[in-house]
Amino acid sequence: MSGHSKWATTKHKKAAIDAKRGKLFANLIKKIEVAARLGGGDPGGNPTLYDAIQKAKKNSVPNDNIDRAVKRGSGVGGESVEYTNIMYEAYGPAGVAILIEVLTDNRNRSAADVKVAVTRNGGTMADMGSVARVFDRKGVVEVAKKQPSGERGVPDKLVTEDDLLEATLDAGPEDITDEGDTFKIVCDPNNLVDVRKAVQAAGLDYESADTEFRAQFVQAVTDKDQAAKLFKLLDAIEDVDDVQDVWSNEDVPDAILAQLDED
């Protein structure tokens, strides 16, 4: 089990319908701009941009917003903003390791905002490398289990783990994890595009193809109060405007999660 799983999966499912929808849109737009700046504005020749656009569309970002982001990133119209990717590291309650990815046009602002979010919510900033060594960077292609047939009267197809393994075997998948409504195909980051193309070649739609940081081991959080403080901390970090993604290695028992839901 990777850290980020229970907390992040819940956050991801809520993101499209809760008050953080605007922040999600902004983050996706930033990724499109950066991808266009680094690899050009043609999705056909820029796989990173292609996948960034796909993810934005899956999260209902309007096409006009996507088009403008591509133009800004590729320098069309003179509106380009240069973003810098920065990783911050922290520890939360119960010694949970937290990796914070920021995409910003102002390093000083981001550093201050992240530090405030961490230290005011029970966390501590960590030395560079002390947390990062706990995580491995992986490519992840997410595929919905229910694939629409596209034809009236024809039932949706249900994809199995075996289907995905067979489709992507030559592309070098490392693992396939069951995330409830979707599967995640985990691979070396260098194989991400090959795995995504193998999924498409099999006639399957994909939700996203991106890189993630996956924990090498999990940190048990068995105290309800500590778990509550941890989730409050993770929420506060995610609320920082420049924060793009947050990864952590907690493992909170289902019984504790149920108690927190009741509260």
C-alpha 238/C-alpha 254 separation (Å) is 23
In whole angstroms, what is the distance from residue 263 CA to residue 260 CA? 5
Residues of the chain with pLDDT under 50: 1-16
- Is residue 233 a contact partner of residue 121, using CB atoms and an 8 Å limit? yes
pLDDT at residue 13, rounded to an integer: 43
**pLDDT at residue 50 in the model:** 96
pLDDT (0 to 100) of residue 15: 46
Instruction: Retrieve residue 73's tokens.
Output: 């990133």
For residue 199, give the 3-state DSSP assignment. Answer: helix
pLDDT recorded at residue 259:
87
**Can you give the pLDDT at residue 217?**
94
In Å, how far are 133, 144, 155, 157 from 148, measured between CA atoms?
40, 10, 8, 6
Output the pLDDT for position 75: 84
Question: What pLDDT does 8 receive?
Answer: 45
Domains of the chain: 12-78 (1.10.10.200), 84-133+218-262 (3.30.70.980), 135-215 (3.30.70.980)
At residue 80, the pLDDT reads 67
What gap in Å lies between CA 8 and CA 3, rounded to an integer?
A: 9
pLDDT of residue 3: 41
At residue 115, the pLDDT reads 98
Q: How confident is the model at residue 16, as a pLDDT?
A: 42
